[in-house]
Structure 1
Amino acid sequence: MYAFTAPFQNPSGSPIRELFKYLSEPGMISFAGGYPASDLFDVEGLQAAAARAYRAPSRCLQYGPTDGLPELKNELVKLMASRGVTCGSDELLATTGSQQGLDLLLRVLVEPGDVVLTEQPAYPATLQALRLQQADIVTVPVDSEGLDVDALAALLASGAVARPKLLYTVPTFANPTGATLTRERRIALLKLATKYRFLIVEDDPYGDLRFSGEPVPSMLALTAEVEGSRDWVVHFASLSKIVAPGLRVGWTIAPAEIVRRCVIAKQTVDLCSAPWTQATAAEYLADGALERHLPAITARYRLKCETLCSELRAQLGNAIAFHQPEGGMFVWARIDGIDASELLKHAVESKVVFVPGKAFFADKLDAASLRLSFAAPGVDDIREGVKRLKRAHDAALGRSLMQ
């Protein structure tokens, strides 16, 4: 009846958000959504910041600049400096979450048929956005140390694909694998981007959530060590995982000519991100509240991650394989011999949910993989949730053996 555009004639929704229907069921334990722990929100700190912001009510209630409130941009420049990055105001765009940054970037850079490289497995919302943009998605494998840069180099040298417009990666505590790209691989990737002239899109929502191991500088910070590479990096960051997702405050750092075009694209989307939450975020950062509160978050996530991993080993033993991350929110696992989508059906019956790995693959699906998020559930729920997962595994395995 309606003449929808080609990408929206038969669109697919988020496979993760489709699981949310189960979360309202009484007693359900969720390892599914990548939600931060709501009991760790700095409610008092944010209330105080919001009160200070509202001392200038017109600033909060009126339209604001498309590129972001000056006071927020100033605080974000300071925050990035603490992360080893120097940037000017014309290189920074405040966005409604970092997902909007990706949407704007794709609008201004990617045309139907353009080659875009992604790590595999990858964040599903990115795959969804690329498909709607009608990009030609080409995948690069990952291992426990992140993107396989040698495989990428071989792919580019072979000429098997056209010159890519960009490569999307979550190099620190990746979603879904939890892996962190090593410093050596980051340098090698920067050199490849400079040589082949494609943009590295570095999505970094989890970098501050390190609870063990040694920090690794962001790709953007490391551009100082690779001549010419700063022109080929776009960096996304967000307060969603480290302060509160309800603020919807993210930012993009990119070459000024890219940012200028993204600002124009944003004008047609929402005119500006909400000034009220921007002002609240600016006050929160200016007060130093983030630095004070982060240790509480990382300490709790360390405990939750250790609990999940130890319980998986105790309950499932050799039936499950996974890499224990040094930060972030996710454990990526494989259970051989069982399709994770089938396992999920039994898990729902046992009142526990997770995300089957199929959601994270653009091609060459790994049916035995699954993502478990330890951030939102409490420690006791994690222990109980793994016991339920074990019961679901036994039920699924029993049915598989009978078939």
Structure 2
Amino acid sequence: MYAFTSVFANPVGSPIRELFKYLSEPGMISFAGGYPASDLFDIDGLAAAQARAFAQPTRCLQYGPTDGLADLKMQLVALMASRGAPCTAESLLVTTGSQQGLDLLLRVMVSPGDVVVTEQPAYPATLQALRLQQAKIVTVPVDAHGLDVAHLDTLLREGRIAIPKLLYTVPTFANPTGATLSRERRIDLLKLALEYRFIIVEDDPYGDLRFAGDAVPTLLGLTAEVPGSRDWVVHFSSLSKIVAPGLRVGWTVAPPEIARRCVVAKQTVDLCSVPWTQAVAAEYLADGALTRHLPKITEAYRHKCNALCEALRETLGDTIAFHAPQGGMFVWARLAAMKTSDLLPHAIAEKVLFVPGTAFFAEQADAASLRLSFAAPGISAIEEGVARLARAMQATGKTVP
């Protein structure tokens, strides 16, 4: 009846969002969505920041600059410097969540048929955005140490793939695998980008959520060690996972020519991100509240991750395999001889949710994989949720120790 564009003729929604309809069921325990723990929101700190922000009501209620409020940009520049990745205000664009940053970048950089490399498995919303942009997705596998850069090197040197326009990666506590790209691989990846002249898209929403191991510099921060590579890195970050997703405050750091074009693209999308929440974020950061509150979050996530991993080992034994992450929000697992899509209906009946791993694959999906998020549930809910998973597995006829 309607003449939709080709990419929206039969669109496929987010497989994770499709599960959200079950969250309202009484007693449901969810390992599904990548929600931060709402009981860890710094309510008092944010309320105080909002009061200070609204002391200048015009700043909150009037349209703001497309590239972001100057006060917030100043705080984000300082935050990036504290992370070892200094940038200028001119190279930084405030976005409505980091997902908008990706959307804007694809608008200005990717034409139909352009090759974009992603790690596999990868964040489903990224795959969805790439498909809607009609990019040609090429995948590179990951292991416990992140993206297999040597494999990518081989693909490029042997001419087995075309030189990509972009390469998308979540190098620190990846979604969904929880893996962190090693420092050595980061340097090698920057060298490849410089040699083949493709843009590395570094998505870094979880980097501050480290609760074990030694910190690894961001790709953006490491560009100082690979002269010329800074021109080939676009960095996304966000306050969604470390402060509150309801603020919808993200940012992009990009080479000036890319940043300028993203600003123009944003003008046609929403004119500007919400000035009110930008002002609240600016006041919150300026007060040092994030620095004070972040250890509370990471310590809680450490306990939750340990609880999940211990419960999986004790309850499911050798029927499940996984790597314990050093931070972030996710455990990536694989079941022995069972499709997780077959397990899901039984899990829902037992009132526990997870995301089947097939949602994270652009090709050749691993049907036995699944993602479990430990961030939102409490410790007792995590332990009970794993017990429910075990009962769901038994309902399929699988023997659980």
TM-score (norm 2): 0.99
Q: How far has the Cα of 1:114 moved from its partner?
A: 0.2
1:273 aligns with 273
Alignment of 1:2-41 (within 5 A): 2-41=2-41
Alpha-carbon deviations, 1:46-72, whole Å to 9, x = none? 000000000000000000000000000
1:166 aligns with 166
> Counterparts of 1:160 and 1:396 in 2: how far apart (Å)?
42
> Counterparts of 2:178 and 2:152 in 1: how far apart (Å)?
20
1:184 aligns with 184
Identity %, equivalent residues: 75
Q: Does the alignment pair 1:231 with 2:231?
A: yes
SS at match of 1:3: coil
Alignment of 1:209-224 (within 5 A): 209-224=209-224
Alpha-carbon deviations, 1:231-250, whole Å to 9, x = none? 00000000000000000000
> Counterparts of 1:373 and 1:283 in 2: how far apart (Å)?
30
What is the aligned-residue RMSD (CA, Å)? 0.7
What is the aligned length? 399
1:108 aligns with 108
1:137 aligns with 137
Q: Give the counterpart letter for 1:71 in structure 2.
A: D
- Note the residue ranges of structure 1 that are not aligned, 5 or more in a row: none
2:297 aligns with 297
Q: Give the counterpart letter for 1:317 in structure 2.
A: G
1:254 aligns with 254
2:264 aligns with 264
Q: Give the counterpart letter for 1:116 in structure 2.
A: V
> Counterparts of 1:104 and 1:186 in 2: how far apart (Å)?
25
Q: How far has the Cα of 1:398 moved from its partner?
A: 4.4
> Counterparts of 1:393 and 1:72 in 2: how far apart (Å)?
48
Q: How far has the Cα of 1:91 moved from its partner?
A: 0.4
> Counterparts of 1:296 and 1:89 in 2: how far apart (Å)?
30
> Counterparts of 2:300 and 2:87 in 1: how far apart (Å)?
32
Alignment of 1:189-208 (within 5 A): 189-208=189-208
- Note the residue ranges of structure 2 that are not aligned, 5 or more in a row: none
SS at match of 2:371: strand
Q: How far has the Cα of 1:397 moved from its partner?
A: 3.1
CA contact (8 A) 1:338 1:396 kept: no
1:149 aligns with 149
Alpha-carbon deviations, 1:154-207, whole Å to 9, x = none? 011111222100000000000000000000000000000000000000000000
> Counterparts of 1:271 and 1:185 in 2: how far apart (Å)?
38
Alpha-carbon deviations, 1:246-265, whole Å to 9, x = none? 00000000000000000000
> Counterparts of 1:305 and 1:120 in 2: how far apart (Å)?
23
Runs ≥4 residues deviating over 6 A = none
> Counterparts of 1:154 and 1:391 in 2: how far apart (Å)?
44
SS at match of 2:396: helix
Q: Does the alignment pair 1:48 with 2:48?
A: yes
Q: Give the counterpart letter for 2:292 in structure 1.
A: R
1:94 aligns with 94
Q: Give the counterpart letter for 1:362 in structure 2.
A: A
CA contact (8 A) 1:338 1:397 kept: no
SS at match of 1:116: strand
CA contact (8 A) 1:209 1:242 kept: yes
SS at match of 2:55: coil
Q: Does the alignment pair 1:327 with 2:324?
A: no
Q: Give the counterpart letter for 1:270 in structure 2.
A: D
SS at match of 2:397: helix
Q: How far has the Cα of 1:394 moved from its partner?
A: 1.3
2:339 aligns with 339
Q: Does the alignment pair 1:285 with 2:285?
A: yes
SS at match of 1:397: coil
2:70 aligns with 70
> Counterparts of 1:60 and 1:312 in 2: how far apart (Å)?
47
> Counterparts of 1:397 and 1:359 in 2: how far apart (Å)?
24
> Counterparts of 1:277 and 1:52 in 2: how far apart (Å)?
12
> Counterparts of 1:123 and 1:162 in 2: how far apart (Å)?
23
> Counterparts of 1:279 and 1:273 in 2: how far apart (Å)?
11
Q: Give the counterpart letter for 1:298 in structure 2.
A: T
